[in-house]
């Protein structure tokens, strides 16, 4: 799996803000989600870390919601049912990079401000919060959603399973 990581966080240097390797953590979580979902393809994901203002601008432009959020997911492939990667094979010209032949899953945008704020609010580490947001977004990129209670329950179970397997727990 290839993770393209971009830092657009403007408040302060990230190495002073987080005590863990963001890119390594994101890669481990993304790979664990794809493994759990039995993705048969080498995949590619773009992850941008920004601040509340940056994610607010993206949320406003892309979704018409003029407020910050913690994470945004922009899938490149529509899956029906969720996690059925055969949909990508149906239109390979749209779903795969022509040079690397990797499945282009989509883009993730995370607010570093929200990571810090929500870690404090939920009483766990910023690493746990960041990993949760990556897992959550990766499931969106695989076609999952949480609009109705059953789908939300499925996503929660899948997120927790991946994070527990990686030993990224709430008591961190």
Encode pLDDT of 155-169 as tens digits: 999 999 999 999 998
Rounded average pLDDT over 22-46: 97
Percent of the chain predicted with pLDDT > 90: 83
Do residues 3 and 47 make contact, with C-beta atoms less than 8 angstroms apart?
yes
Each residue's pLDDT tens digit, 103-152:
999 999 999 999 999 999 999 999 999 999 999 999 999 999 999 999 99
Q: Are 129 and 122 in contact (CB under 8 A)?
A: yes
- pTM of the predicted model as reported, rounded to 2 decimal places: 0.95
The whole-angstrom separation of Cα 31 and Cα 41 is 11
Locate the DSSP E strands across the chain. 2-7, 43-50, 71-75, 103-111
- Sign of the four-CA dihedral 91, 93, 95, 96: positive
pLDDT of residue 34: 98
Strand pairing of 103-111 and 71-75? antiparallel
To the nearest 10°, the Cα dihedral for 17, 57, 97, 139?
70
Greater pLDDT, 67 or 11: 67
Task: Give 14's pLDDT tier (boundaries 50, 70, 90).
Answer: low
Distance in angstroms (rounded) separating the CA atoms of residues 69 and 58: 10
pLDDT for res 91:
80
Q: CA nearest 113: which of 57, 164, 60, 71? A: 71
What pLDDT does residue 79 have? Answer: 87
Given a cut of 90, whether residue 33 has pLDDT beyond it is: yes
By residue count, the chain amounts to: 172
Q: Which CATH class is domain 2-165?
A: alpha beta
Mean pLDDT of the chain: 93
Q: pLDDT-derived band of residue 11, with 50, 70 and 90 as boundaries?
A: low
- What is the C-alpha to C-alpha distance for residues 167 and 72, in angstroms, rounded to an integer? 24
Q: What is the pLDDT of residue 94?
A: 84
CA atoms of 117 and 170, how far apart (whole Å): 15
Distance CA 22, CA 40 (A): 25
* Mean pLDDT, rounded, for 41-57: 96
Shortest CA distance to 5 belongs to which of 89, 99, 130? 130
Residues 34-59: what's their mean pLDDT? Answer: 97
CB 105 within 8 A of CB 91: no
């Amino acid at each position: 799996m290839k993770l393209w990581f971009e830092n657009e966080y403007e408040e302060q240097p990230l190495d002073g803000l987080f005590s863990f390797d963001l890119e390594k953590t994101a890669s481990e979580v993304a790979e664990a989600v794809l493994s759990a979902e039995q993705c048969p393809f080498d995949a590619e994901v773009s992850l941008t870390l920004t601040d509340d203002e940056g994610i607010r601008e993206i949320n406003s432009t892309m979704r018409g919601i003029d407020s910050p959020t913690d994470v945004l997911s922009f899938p490149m492939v529509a899956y029906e049912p969720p996690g059925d990667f055969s949909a990508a094979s149906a239109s390979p010209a749209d779903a795969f990079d022509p040079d690397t032949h990797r499945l282009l899953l989509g883009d993730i945008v995370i607010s570093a401000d929200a990571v810090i704020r929500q870690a404090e609010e939920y009483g766990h580490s910023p690493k746990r919060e960041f990993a949760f947001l990556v897992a959550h977004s990766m499931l969106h990129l695989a076609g999952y959603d949480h609009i109705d209670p059953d789908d939300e329950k499925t996503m929660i179970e899948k997120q927790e399973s991946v994070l527990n397997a990686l030993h990224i727990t709430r008591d961190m």
